[in-house]
Amino acid sequence: MARLLAPQVGPAGHVTGLDFNAGMLSVARAQTPRSGAPVEWREGDAGALPFGDESFDAVLCQQGLQFFPDKLAALREMHRVLAAGGRLGVCVWQSIERNPWSAAVTNALARHVNQNAAEKSLVAYALGNANDLRKLIADAGFRAVEIRADEFLRRMGPPEESVPLSLASSGVVGTIVAALQPDVRAAVVAEITAAVQPYRDEKGLTIPRRTLIALAQK
């Protein structure tokens, strides 16, 4: 997100990227854009932002809010660091039912591992209801909250290759799958592969993903 914002803001502006994970920040610093606004990378907690009041004209959070332990506190911090009239932009995944890849993963984990593993994979969809998201943002003090659903296509290689590779790189799910016995892991991969067959095309898989985009103002 920060890299994409830099050329949009322009050289007269400034972009700050925040993450709780020092390793992720190391990767980000290695890919800092060479044009547009300068980017500052900061390590910090979204629930206690390391910035003064009214420090920014806009705060954006892409696919992060649903993972924060205290979502309301994080939104109140975003409100605090925004200047008067500043804008908030938040992107979270819509409900699991609208995301067939993740639904296939969750169902396979529930069947072949246990319900606890399946529930861990659902964390990414904790804010998938538009009404709940709108109320949460309003409760943090924001006004003029607008939410829309958007869809994009996730393109993957042939499922025989892309399914195990995607699982291995999928954060919490990847950790769960890596710890499975080989036969259980194979069963999980086989079930997911079968479930996504309707999205197969000549190049591999083209799977729709649905997200909620929330805009608000201080």
Whole-number mean pLDDT of the chain? 94
Task: Let me know: does 173 contact 113? Beta carbons within 8 Å.
Answer: no
12 located within any domain: no
Q: What is the CATH classification number for the domain harbouring 137?
A: 3.40.50.150
Q: How confident is the model at residue 24 (pLDDT cuts 50, 70, 90)?
A: confident
Tokens at 96, concatenated: 């699991």
Q: Which residues pair with 155 in a beta bridge?
A: 206
- Does the pLDDT value for residue 15 go beyond 90? yes
14 located within any domain: no
The sign of the CA dihedral 22, 23, 24, 26 is: positive
9 located within any domain: no
User: What is the structure's pLDDT at 169?
Assistant: 86
Q: What is the count of structural domains for the chain?
A: 1
- Looking only at the bridges linking them, the beta strands covering 82-93 and 56-62 are parallel
- Give 97-155 pLDDT, tens digit per residue: 999 999 999 999 999 999 999 999 899 999 999 999 999 999 999 999 999 999 999 99
Q: How confident is the model at residue 211 (pLDDT cuts 50, 70, 90)?
A: very high
56 located within any domain: yes
Nearest to 152, CA basis, from 206, 203, 193? 206
- Give 144-179 pLDDT, tens digit per residue: 999 999 999 999 999 989 999 999 888 889 899 999
Percentage of the chain lying above the pLDDT 70 cut: 100
User: What is the structure's pLDDT at 128?
Assistant: 96
Domain of 140 in residue numbering reads as 45-217
39 located within any domain: no
211 located within any domain: yes
92 located within any domain: yes
- Does the pLDDT value for residue 33 go beyond 90? no
Nearest to 130, CA basis, from 207, 61, 211, 67? 211
- Does the pLDDT value for residue 204 go beyond 90? yes
- Looking only at the bridges linking them, the beta strands covering 15-19 and 39-43 are parallel
